[in-house]
């Protein structure tokens, strides 16, 4: 005879294990995102300081404007690259968080939906 409590315990354990795998992926991704943000911030600060030093050392207004224009282009390109990197990390995160639950999606689709009555 099947014991429904044993089945419930087994399913609960499987669900908790699956959720823990998913949370582990989230934790690793959060660490990678935080490290990337810190590196990007540090690099941006260094670039800004370097550009300011160059501007202050410029011999003419035209040279200062050229240095500033180059700096702005560099900052813009860096921002776009960082945005793309973060977008890829979030896309990978979504895939990896979902992966432990993939075996359940087929089971869920196979369940009959209750009929709505009005």
| Alpha-carbon span 54 to 36, nearest angstrom | 27
| Alpha-carbon span 75 to 57, nearest angstrom | 20
pTM of model > 0.75: no
pLDDT tens-digit profile of 65-104? 999 999 999 999 999 999 999 999 889 888 888 887 777 7
């Amino acid at each position: 005879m099947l014991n429904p409590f044993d089945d419930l315990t087994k399913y609960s354990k499987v669900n908790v294990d699956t959720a823990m795998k998913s949370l582990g992926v989230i934790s690793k991704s959060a660490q990678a995102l935080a490290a990337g943000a810190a590196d990007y911030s540090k690099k941006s600060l260094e670039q800004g300081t370097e550009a300011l030093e160059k501007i202050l050392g410029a011999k003419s207004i035209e040279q200062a404007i050229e240095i500033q224009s180059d700096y702005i282009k560099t900052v813009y390109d860096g921002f776009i690259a960082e945005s793309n990197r973060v977008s890829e990390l979030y896309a990978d995160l979504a895939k990896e968080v979902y992966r432990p639950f993939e075996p359940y999606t087929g089971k869920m689709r196979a369940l009959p939906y209750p009929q709505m009555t009005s």
